Amino acid sequence: MQGSYSTTTINTNSYMSKKNRNPAPRAKGFGSNLESIPTILAKLEALVERQQLAAALELIQSLEERYPNHPDALEGLANTYYELGDTIRYEWACSRLVAVAPNSVNAAIGLAGAYLTNYRPALAMGAFRSFVETWPDHERAPDAREVVAELETKLGPYLAEMGLEGPEAISVAALHEKAISLLDWGQYQEARAVAEEVLARCPQMDGAHHNISLSYWLDGDTQQAIAICERFLAENPENYNALGNLIRFLFLSGNPEAAKQRAEQFKSLKVEKINLFVKQAESFSYLGDDEGVLAAFAAAETSGRLDLAPPLLFHLAAVAQMRLGRQAEAKALWEQALDLSDSFSLAEQNLNDLRQIISDRYGAFAFPLQQWVRQKTLDELRLSLAAFNPRESESPEDQTKIAQEYLSAHPEMLTLVPALLDRGSPSGRDFAFYLARHAQTPEMLAALRDFALSDRGPDAMRHEAAQVANRAGLLPAGTVRMWMQGKWRELILLGMEIHAEPTIQHSKPVKNLLGEAIENLREEEGAKAEKLLQQALKIEPDAPDLLYNLANAWDLQERHQEAKELIEQIHQRHPDYTFAAISVAQMHIKSGDLETARNLLQPILSKSRMHTVEFSLFCTAQIQFYLADRKPESASAWLNLLRQTNPNYPTIDYWEKRLSKI
């Protein structure tokens, strides 16, 4: 949720319910084509039943745009948001429905339940009381009275947290919550007007100052948002709402050092209020300070106020625990958050991610993307970046230009991209990854390299990031330690293309002789192959591949010393001929001269292209090298690469058996 609010815990989730299928009272004056509404609503119901929720939302939004205040359209919109688990938009749709259909029982109870679920206790109290007064004999009236009674017991501490007392306290709190709702709905100017009305009635209400600064921030006025926080802090240095907001605004606007300095100031505050602990946990989550988040949660526990905490605090503590590798503790905290509110989607989304196979997990995240990047900025990028809207006419160069232009227009991304790669939601990490991959600036490439070497995000995404960093020269080709399938493993990074095209061009007669000789070599008929190769060498006497295959023919005839000497000669005369370089390296591995072997193999890693057979021999040499160097994990990494690139290579089974015995 975007706004600031004090909290109370009501363990009741049954009132935010789907409307029934009976149409609400129909208003007049919506045009002459009303007969299409029932047809569209029938299609909507079918889509929802098939769980095609994205299509359902698109359909009902289209209907609502045509008939913006029609009760049936609004009811369909509310039901769809309910199915999507979007409690904020559900509340928005219900509030609009109540405005146009004030006699609708379903709209009234739905809005009351939405207030309760979204932690608007003062608004919920008013809505449930109104429901009971208007429909005292309704079948749900007894349950509503129970909620009112429970809220009455909880509202005292809630109002005290905000410094509200007297007969106006609940109405001021309700107005404050209305400003929060408007912020969540994206109605920033309206939210600001309501927050200013709260201040007019209660000047000491610092949460209203918070909402005003947040409204400017969300509306794109960064300087004004920061200025309001700084002015308020100058007069109220221990105001945790202003300090927490300032930390967030500084960090998200690209000033992480200033944000961290303010965070140290925040840690020194000793006010024992549940809202302070929540605000601390929220601020430290943006900075990636997991220990700071857990310290705030522990302080809330020690203070005896944890029973007043919203699910958000449990969720933020769970994220911190998970990022520190404590999965059991994280899972228990997310489950506690859902016990408080079974529609708290951030906890459910994180638990769903935890249920994925380990290589596909995005990892724990505190906030949705929209709390990191303003919706306006996201909309601009989505319209222009080929990563979000690819077109065949756009070349990679065009995509890079677009991304770089947006980085220039939004310099805060230099801070946000690494943060989102480290701790963003799935959509946040996708956003950051594609922006960095397209932009290809030094800062973005460095962010991709650091992400690749971390244990955050799905394996496939980090592997792709490593490939991009490797091609840019930020990660060397060869063995690199990466987090894969839930463990740190040795992997091979190669920025080369593996191909099956001939590496040396020959005349047609030589090509025919060589092809036949290779078939003889496969059949281990060394003498026949030698005869054909000698004929070819009369035509092209210095062709390295002909000489190399001749050495293989001699080897099959047990003329090992002659074969060895010929391969060494080929390497001296043709140092760039990879087959000979690899074979000479294998000779040194066999003799125990690993340093010379390494010096021969290392330059091959920088090649941009290799033939499949050439690369398979190279993988084999690397397996031999790392076994001789007593590094079986690296040898296994090269065997995996050999299996991926040439799964039918004849020595794979041999090396698998050899490695299985280690």
Sequence-distant (≥ 6) Cβ neighbours of residue 71 within 8 angstroms: 23, 24, 25, 26, 27, 97, 100, 101, 104, 107
Q: Is residue 557 part of a domain?
A: yes
* Nearest alpha-carbon partner for 295 in 494, 415, 287: 287
Whether residues 376 and 477 share a domain: the answer is yes
State the pLDDT at residue 14: 43
Whether residues 471 and 528 share a domain: the answer is no
Whether residues 566 and 618 share a domain: the answer is yes
CATH number at residue 523: 1.25.40.10
Band (pLDDT 50/70/90 cuts) for residue 385 is: low
Q: Domain end: 472, 495, 518, which one?
A: 495
User: Is the pLDDT assigned to residue 114 strictly greater than 90?
Assistant: yes
Higher pLDDT, 513 or 502: 513
H-helix segments, 304-423: 311-323, 327-340, 345-354, 375-384, 396-409, 413-423
State the pLDDT at residue 394: 58
Select the highest-mean-pLDDT range: 2-6, 68-72, 124-128: 124-128
Whether residues 516 and 480 share a domain: the answer is no
State the pLDDT at residue 604: 93
Q: Is residue 415 part of a domain?
A: yes
Whether residues 603 and 638 share a domain: the answer is yes
* Nearest alpha-carbon partner for 659 in 620, 621, 623, 618: 623
Higher pLDDT, 384 or 118: 118
Question: Tell me: the pLDDT tens digits for 177-222?
Answer: 999 999 999 999 999 999 999 999 998 888 898 899 999 999 999 9
Band (pLDDT 50/70/90 cuts) for residue 31 is: very low
State the pLDDT at residue 35: 44
Band (pLDDT 50/70/90 cuts) for residue 496 is: confident
Whether residues 580 and 637 share a domain: the answer is yes
Question: Tell me: the pLDDT tens digits for 9-25?
Answer: 333 334 555 554 443 33
* Nearest alpha-carbon partner for 413 in 438, 445, 443: 443
Whether residues 445 and 467 share a domain: the answer is yes
Range of the domain at 472: 369-495
State the pLDDT at residue 16: 52
Average pLDDT estimate for 135-141: 96
Q: Domain end: 495, 530, 545, which one?
A: 495
User: Is the pLDDT assigned to residue 6 strictly greater than 80?
Assistant: no
The token duo for 99 is 């405005």
* Nearest alpha-carbon partner for 124 in 143, 100, 144: 144
Q: Is residue 280 part of a domain?
A: no
Whether residues 465 and 524 share a domain: the answer is no
Q: Is residue 105 part of a domain?
A: no
Q: Is residue 518 part of a domain?
A: yes
Expressed in angstroms, the distance from the first to the final Cα of the chain is: 54
Whether residues 530 and 639 share a domain: the answer is yes
State the pLDDT at residue 19: 53
Whether residues 490 and 610 share a domain: the answer is no
The token duo for 381 is 């990028």
The token duo for 640 is 């995996």
Average pLDDT estimate for 374-390: 68
State the pLDDT at residue 187: 96
Q: Domain end: 441, 467, 495, which one?
A: 495
Whether residues 512 and 606 share a domain: the answer is yes
Whether residue 618 contacts residue 583, with contact meaning beta carbons closer than 8 Å, is answered with no
Lowest mean pLDDT among 98-102, 111-115, 310-314, 373-377: 373-377
What span, in angstroms and rounded, lies between the C-alpha atoms of 154 and 156? 6
Band (pLDDT 50/70/90 cuts) for residue 491 is: confident
User: Is the pLDDT assigned to residue 557 strictly greater than 60?
Assistant: yes
State the pLDDT at residue 386: 44
Q: Is residue 57 part of a domain?
A: no
* Nearest alpha-carbon partner for 127 in 137, 119, 115: 115
Q: Is residue 565 part of a domain?
A: yes
Band (pLDDT 50/70/90 cuts) for residue 644 is: confident
Element (H, E) at 610: strand 609-611
Whether residues 439 and 507 share a domain: the answer is no
Question: Tell me: the pLDDT tens digits for 270-322?
Answer: 888 898 999 999 999 999 999 999 999 999 999 999 998 999 999 999 999 99
User: Is the pLDDT assigned to residue 33 strictly greater than 60?
Assistant: no
What span, in angstroms and rounded, lies between the C-alpha atoms of 139 and 21? 18
Q: Is residue 401 part of a domain?
A: yes
Higher pLDDT, 163 or 365: 365
User: Is the pLDDT assigned to residue 528 strictly greater than 60?
Assistant: yes
For strand 478-484 and strand 487-493, is the pairing parallel, antiparallel, or unpaired?
A: antiparallel
Average pLDDT, the chain: 90
What is the torsional sign of CA 57, 63, 65, 71?
negative
User: Is the pLDDT assigned to residue 457 strictly greater than 80?
Assistant: yes
Provide the number of structural domains found in the chain: 2
